[in-house]
Chain A
Amino acid sequence: MSEPTSTQQTPRRGVSARDVIQRVIAPESTTWNTVLIVALAFFTALVLSAIFIVGSDPNVIQAPDLPTGLNVAWLDISGAYGGLLSGALGNPSTFLSKVGSGNAKTVASAFYPLSETLVAAAPLVFTGLSVALGFRAGLFNIGGEGQVIAGGLAAGFVGFSLHGLTGFVELPLALLAGFVAGAFWGFVPGLLKSRTGAHEVITTIMLNYVAIYLTYYFLSTKVFQRPGRSDPISKIVDSAASLPSLEGVNLRVHAGVILAVLVAIAVYFLLWRTTLGFEFRAVGANPDASRAAGIGVGRVVVLAMSLAGGLAGLAGANIILGVNYSVSPGFSSSLGFDGITVALLGRGNPAGVVAAALLFGGLRAGAVQMQAATSTPVDLVQVIEALVIMFVAAPTLVREIYHIRAQRGVGAPAVSTGWGS
């Protein structure tokens, strides 16, 4: 497994604004070319998705004449993408009138779309970081799903078991439980890889299913099952163990958002400011050379997978303690897989991951609004995301479409190494 980008560069001290922006969007490339590629990838994905929207509308196909058809098609596209945008960021005019109203709750409601975007983005930051950390160490953590579930189960268990303690004790304990459980779910594939060479893609996928059935099992036990309910749902998390939120003003945004940013910074420091992080990146770049240089590759693989698992576990804890407040099947809602797209768009870089998570979180929040307003299915967002990643992963293709000349050393293709370790 290789990294999404091929060149390595250690950030220098003394940064200019230009450096910062580049690091946010594409730390390894040295030009704005990459930014252009991402923008064009997004544009192309939106165009292709628009074709799917129009092509699947019977009113367009059955339109009596071309102008009517084009008109319907235009309304389709503008309605869907307009709904997406206002659901993610809000409608500017309603935003201004609400903010100007002076009533606290009305003012807060202006921020509802932004709040939803942040709520959707927070877990994506964690799973994106999880996959990105794996990429850095040359590992493909496709088991985020299982790790999210393990983390959510553990955080939920601690959350509903504790009572009467302050939030300063309960919340950290619940978060820690989520981290540790996720880390264990990553530790196992890491250990298997370092000891037997078992490829983490297969072992982590298998562990996803083990986690899913484990959820059903736990929710069928007296310890987890909420009294008086026959469906698989757990007891409710103690309020002191929940992530503080702005529900007082009807916003779902919670402290997990801040935690996500802090963890992203921590991962950045780990990767680029510590010896362990250097070892991760060295093993990711070239395990043979790392071994020759005296780095314990097996240890790095185990540690990296455990940490990646722990990060994904935090995503589960974030969902259970900040949004759902109880465990039920399917709460992970493919966060583990979405983490892959976030990490790829974020180029395996913590700041990039945060940016990508905000983007995709916005798409998620917007999609709900889009479906409500125009009955365009939310699944469209998944199509857009996948297309964006396809184009970002193949910059040569984007350049061919738009006739952009390749710059020297930019966007060299990621080269995979297959199942072998």
Chain B
Amino acid sequence: MSVAAGVTGAVTLAVTRAEVIRRRTLGVFFLLVAAAIAVLFGLDVPGTTRADFVLNLASAQAISVPDLVVPVQTTAFLLAAVSAFLGAVQVVRGFGRWSNVVLALVIGLFIFSFLAWAARDTSLSLVGMLQGTVVRATPLTLGAFSGLLCERSGVINVAIEGQMLMGAFVAAMVTSATSSAALGMLAGMLAGGLIGLILAVFAIRYLVDQIIVGVVLDLFCLGLTGFLYDRLMVPFQATLNSAAVVRPLAIPLLSKIPILGPILFDQNVFVYLLLILLAAIQVALFQTRWGLRVRAVGEQPRAADTAGINVLRTRYINVLLGGLVAGLAGSFFTIGAVGQFTKNMTSGRGFISLAAMISGGWTPIGSFGASLVFGFADALQNFLSVLNVPISSYFLLMAPYIATILVVAGVVGRVRPPANDGKPYVKQ
């Protein structure tokens, strides 16, 4: 929305007031979390109840450490006090640019006290759950990277879901046929890249509404992979749809670190690629000339063009890169997890990636953090049967989606898309 020059002053003032309101809202949110922790997870629990967190994985190579046994009620009250303190500081003074970090911390406190409460009188493999969280978060994070690579250059990528499906399908097929996971991964990436290219041509050359092209491409990929699955994979199951799953690869030394080792360094190659991409994209976007140009194209294409940057080429390249990364994310579903393709196996995770990217404020590190929250909720499903949770598990499963709505609604934190995100550029 354009703002006339004359009212810029008023707008600046309004933004400042909005900032204050947001700061207080966030503070009140922290206080509410504190109250929730104390009431939900502390009040009704007898003082002697303990929760046993297992910090070793039988399968892992890490040096073993003793279990973490915590008193449930004391933990809840302690963590509630910490949240309340953070909330009070936030209301009075605010954490400025650290707000989002503090927000992540408070959410972490809430989740930990929830786990302590849910694992009361029983034991829970905390490391197993966190390892599962990272595994579940991997495709989501990669999908979010795909989205932000595109959107930083000003093209909205809603086709992540479709690119993932194509990547999953092709990776499974190529790996099954050639018994080479590397080839499968490459082919999966190319399949995602191909859809990215179609998106780019329609969005950049034919100026079609990007969200619409994205959604239609999702439907196209869903239909095509479903069609080819029935046509090729079902009759030729053994040769075309039985890929070997990429095995976890323990990194020497690092995998021996207690707790952190099994969670991050005893995983398969997709997790390592994710960590490498996380660092690479973060640095490339914000520390290099390339990143500056990409962001300029996403924020002010006209100015970037005037400065001699080829806007359209930058966008083509970034959308293609995004497609490749989404294809990689898709490969994870088949050769990184179960080995076989099934219809609609991504079941909306591409859209969740999009939400993670937005919640993460269009940054790699933020996307990773938001994906971890979704991944945790996903991983939680597998542990619900061993936990003491009286409410319906379906409400727990809803929680991350509702949290995303709150984040997007700006109740917690502030996110701003690149200024020219989704707007086609026509050279004059």
Identify the A interface with B (CB < 8 A).
1-2, 4, 52, 56-58, 140, 142, 192, 195-199, 201-203, 205-210, 213-214, 216-217, 220, 287-288, 337-338, 340-341, 344, 376-377, 379-387, 389-390, 393-394, 396-397, 413-421
Collect the chain B residues with CB atoms within 8 Å of residue A2's CB: 209
Q: B-side binding surface: helix, strand, loop or mixed?
A: helix
Q: How far is the CA of A195 from the CA of B405 in the complex (A)?
A: 13
Name 7 A/B residue pairs within 8 A (Cβ), A-sorted: A140-B212, A288-B2, A340-B216, A379-B224, A379-B230, A414-B212, A420-B421
B183, CB-defined interface residue at 8 Å: no
Nearest CB to that of B226 among chain A residues?
A379
- Scan residues 371-428 of chain B and give those whose CB is less than 8 A from a CB of chain A: 392, 394-395, 397-398, 401-402, 404-405, 408-411, 417, 420-424
Residue of A nearest to B203 (CB): A416
Task: Indicate if the CB atoms of A202 and B354 lie closer than 8 Å.
Answer: yes
Given the interface pairs A341-B219, A390-B216, A415-B207, the reply to whether A198 lies near B405 with Cβ below 8 Å is: yes
- Contact pick for B216, options A1, A389, A415, CB 8 Å: A389
* Known contacts A56-B231, A210-B398, A382-B222; is-contact A344 B409 (Cβ 8 Å): no
Within 8 A of A (CB), among B269-318: none
Count contacts on B: residues with CB < 8 A to the other chain: 56
> Would A377 and B209 count as touching, CB distance under 8 A?
no
How many pairs, one residue from A and one from B, have CB atoms within 8 Å of each other in the complex? 183
The reply on B112 being an interface residue by CB < 8 A is no
Q: How far is the CA of A197 from the CA of B410 in the complex (A)?
A: 8
Q: How long is the Cα–Cα vector from A131 to B348 in the complex, in angstroms? A: 20
**Interface-centre pick from B215, B219, B235, B420 (highest chain A CB count, 10 A):** B219
Task: Provide the residues of chain B in CB contact with A337, threshold 8 Å.
Answer: 215, 218-219
Chain A interface mostly: helix
Check: B211 CB closer than 8 A to any chain A CB.
Answer: yes
Chain A CB within 8 A of B351 CB: yes
Q: Could you tell me if A385 and B219 are in contact, using CB atoms closer than 8 angstroms?
A: yes
Question: Which of B217, B343, B409 has a CB less than 8 Å from the CB of A192?
Answer: B409
- Residue B249 interfacial (CB < 8 Å): no
> Across the interface, do A381 and B219 meet the contact criterion of CB distance under 8 Å?
no
* Pair A418/B420 contact, Cβ less than 8 Å: yes
Check B401 against A209 for contact (C-beta < 8 Å): yes
Interfacial chain A residues near B409, Cβ < 8 Å: 192, 195-196, 198, 203
Interface check B98, CB cutoff 8 A: no
Question: Are B223 and A202 within 8 A (Cβ)?
Answer: no
The answer to whether A394 touches B206 (Cβ under 8 A) is: yes
Q: Which residues of B contact A217 (CB under 8 A)?
A: 392, 394-395
Take A198-B410, A390-B213 as given contacts and tell me if A419 and B227 are in contact as well, using a CB distance cutoff of 8 Å.
no
Q: How far is the CA of A338 from the CA of B215 in the complex (A)?
A: 10
For the complex, give the distance between the alpha carbons of A202 and B424 in Å: 21
Complex CA gap A417/B422 in Å reads 6
Is B212's CB under 8 angstroms from A344's CB?
yes
Pair A202/B404 contact, Cβ less than 8 Å: yes
Complex contacts, B208 vs chain A, CB 8 Å: 393-394, 413-414
Return chain B residues, CB-CB under 8 Å to A56: 227-228, 231-232
Q: Please tell me if the beta carbons of B215 and A421 are within 8 angstroms of each other in the complex.
A: no
1/0 per position for B216-253, CB-CB distance to A under 8 A? Answer: 11111011101111111001100000000000000000
